Chains A and B, each alone.
Chain A
C-alpha cells in the first residue's frame, strides 16, 4: 500500500520534500562542481582575452549548472558542467561581436576528460590540512592573521579586535577578505592532491 499522493498534497510534506532535494543539490554542488573551478577558470582564460571577468563567468556557469541540476541530476558532473561552460562562452563570443564569428569555431575543443575521482575524493585529513595551510599562506597578511586567530586559536571577533588593535567591523572586514581569498586559493587555483 504505497501512498505518496498524501505527501504531495499536504503542504508541509511537499515543502519538506523540496527542502531535501535542495539540500542534496547543495551538497552535490559543493562536493562535485566546486572542485572543477580551477579547470573552469583555466578554460575561460584560454578562450577569453579579458581574464578579469573570470568571477562573473564562473557565477554564470554555476547558476546554470545549479538550476539545471534542480530539474534533473546529471550522470556525469564533469561533462555536464563543461558543456554548459562551453555554450556560455560561445554565447559570449557571439554577443561581444568584437571577435569575428569564426573565432567561435576556434574555441578550445570541448575536451572533457572522463569522470575520474577528483582530488577531493582521495583527500584525507592530512592532505586537506596541507592544502589549507598553503592556501592560508597566500592570503594578505592582516586577513591571514584574523583568520588564524579565529580558526587556529579559536578567538571570538571581540578578542581578535583586541589582539589586532582594530574595531570589530575591521575584524569582519579582514575575515571577509580572507574567506574570499581562501576560496580562490582552494578552488580557483586548483587543488593538487
Chain B
C-alpha cells in the first residue's frame, strides 16, 4: 500500500467511535516510540504530556502491554536450540509457515541479528529518581537513584545488564528461562529470588533477601563462583569474592529507598553522607575526620539533606556551611 492510500484508509478507519480513534492514536504513539530511529527527548516530552490525560494513558497502557507481550514471539525466531530445551511446543502451524517462507532468505540475517543485539531495552534514572519496572512474567525490578539497566529476553533466558547504580530484583522463577544479571563483569543467576545488586566504586555488592542465587565472576583469569543464601552479601571486587551474613530482618533497611527513605543504624556520619550524596545534586562534605566517625541512628528521606544537617547541628552541635552546591559539616 502506498503511504497516501494508508492515510486515506486511516481517515475512514478513524470514524469508528471515540474509543477506537483513541486506540489508533495510542498505537501510533507506541509505534513511534518503539520503532522510530530518531526518537529523542523532545518526542518523549510530547508523549509524556499526552499521557497526562488518563483517558489517553489507559488506551496507551492497554496496547503497550500487548506490544510487550508480543516481544515473546521472539522465541519463535528460527535458531538452534540447546539440547536441554524443554518439551517441544505442541503445535505452531502459522509460525512455521512464516518461518519456512522466510527461512531461505532470512537464515543468515536472522542469526546475525540474534547474536548482534537481542533488542535491549534501556531504563535509566537520574540522581534522586527511582523507577519500578514490572515485567510481563510478574517479576519486578526497582531501579534506584542514578542507575542504568538494560533488559532483553529470548526463548532460553531473561537477561539484565546493570550498567550503573543499584537495582532490587524480585524475580519470578522459570526453570526454562533463567534470569541472569550481569554487572561489572560478574554474573548473577537467579533461582527464584529477591536480591539487590549495587555497583560501588571498585566492587559489586550483591545481597540476597530470599530464595537462592549464584554469583560468578568472570573477566579475570580465574573463574570463581559461589552460591548465596538469604541474608548473605557478597562483595565482588577484581579477583576476590567476600561474603558477610546478616539477619534477614535487617535487610529491610537495604531496600527502604523504595519508600523514599534511608534507614541508618549505628552508622557513621561519613557513611550517611556518602549514602545521601547518591540521591542529591547538592553534596554533603564532612571536613573533619573526628566528625566523620560520629555514630547515630536515623531515618532520613532520600532527599533529606536538611534533616541530616539538623541532626548534625542539634544532636552533635556541629557547624554547617553552604558553599557552591556543597554542604560542609565541621566542628
Q: Is A193 an interface residue (CB 8 A)?
A: no
Give chain A residues whose Cβ lies under 8 Å from the Cβ of B70: 132, 147, 151, 179, 182
Q: Which of B58, B76, B90, B176 contacts A63 (CB 8 A)?
A: B58
Chain B residues near A169 (CB-CB < 8 A): 3, 6-7
Task: Give every chain B residue within 8 A of A29 (Cβ-Cβ).
Answer: 58, 61
Partner of A179, one of B27, B57, B58, B261: B27
Contact of A31 with B by CB under 8 A:
yes
**Judging by beta carbons under 8 Å apart, are A186 and B77 in contact?**
no
Interface string of A8-27 (1 = CB under 8 A from B): 00101100110110011011
Tell me whether B54 and A7 are in contact (CB under 8 A). Answer: no
B6 touches which of A59, A130, A170 (Cβ 8 Å): A170
Q: A23-B132, A125-B137 are in contact. Are A13 and B89 (CB under 8 A)?
A: no
Is A74 an interface position by the 8 A CB rule? no
Q: Is B304 a contact of A55 with CB atoms below 8 Å?
A: no
- A58 in the interface (beta carbon within 8 A): yes
Q: Are A30 and B19 in contact (CB under 8 A)?
A: no
Q: Which of A31, A129, A147 contacts B89 (CB 8 A)?
A: A129
Known: A3-B300, A27-B134. A172 touches B35 (CB 8 A): yes
Pick the interface stretch among B92-100, B189-197, B211-219, B243-251: B92-100
**The one of A1, A30, A179 that contacts B299, using a Cβ cutoff of 8 Å:** A1
- 0 or 1 for each of B118-145: is its CB under 8 Å from A? (1 = yes): 0100000000111110101110100000
Task: Please indicate the chain A residues that have their CB under 8 angstroms from the CB of B306 in the complex.
Answer: 6
Q: Are A167 and B72 in contact (CB under 8 A)?
A: no
Interface residues on A, range: 35 or more
Q: B66 within 8 Å of A by Cβ?
A: yes
Please tell me if the beta carbons of B303 and A126 are within 8 angstroms of each other in the complex: no
Contact with A along B292-308 (1 / 0, CB 8 A): 00000111111110110
Binary B-proximity of A56-78 (CB < 8 A = 1, otherwise 0): 10110011001100100000000
Q: B227 near A: Cβ within 8 Å?
A: no
Docked pose: A70 CA to B300 CA in angstroms:
26
A7 touches B132 (CB 8 A): no
Asked if B326 is an interface residue, CB under 8 A from chain A, the answer is: no
CA distance A173 to B1 in the complex (A): 10
Contact A125 B177 (CB under 8 A): yes
Q: Is A43 part of the contact surface with B, judged by Cβ < 8 Å?
A: no
Instruction: Give the chain B neighbours of A20 by CB distance below 8 A.
Output: 130, 132, 260
Give the distance in Å from the alpha carbon of A128 to the alpha carbon of B136 in the complex: 10
Q: In the complex where A16-B130, A169-B7, A186-B69 touch, is A153 in contact with B106 (Cβ < 8 A)?
A: yes
Q: Are A59 and B19 in touch, CB under 8 angstroms?
A: yes
Q: Does B174 lie within 8 Å of A125, measured CB to CB? A: yes
Shortest distance from the beta carbon of A128 to any chain B beta carbon, whole Å:
6
Pull 7 A–B residue pairs with CB atoms less than 8 Å apart, ordered by A: A3-B304, A4-B261, A6-B306, A29-B58, A132-B69, A172-B28, A180-B63
**Nearest 4 pairs between A and B by C-beta?**
A59-B19, A55-B19, A151-B73, A27-B134
Interface of B with A (CB < 8 Å)? 1-3, 5-7, 9-10, 16-20, 22-24, 27-28, 30-31, 35, 37, 54-55, 57-59, 61-63, 65-67, 69-77, 86, 89-90, 92, 94-95, 98-99, 102, 106, 109-110, 113-114, 119, 128-132, 134, 136-138, 140, 174, 176-177, 260-261, 297-304, 306-307, 311
Beyond A23-B131, A187-B62: 12 further Cβ-contacts under 8 Å? A1-B311, A13-B301, A13-B302, A26-B61, A30-B61, A128-B69, A136-B73, A137-B94, A152-B99, A179-B27, A179-B31, A186-B66
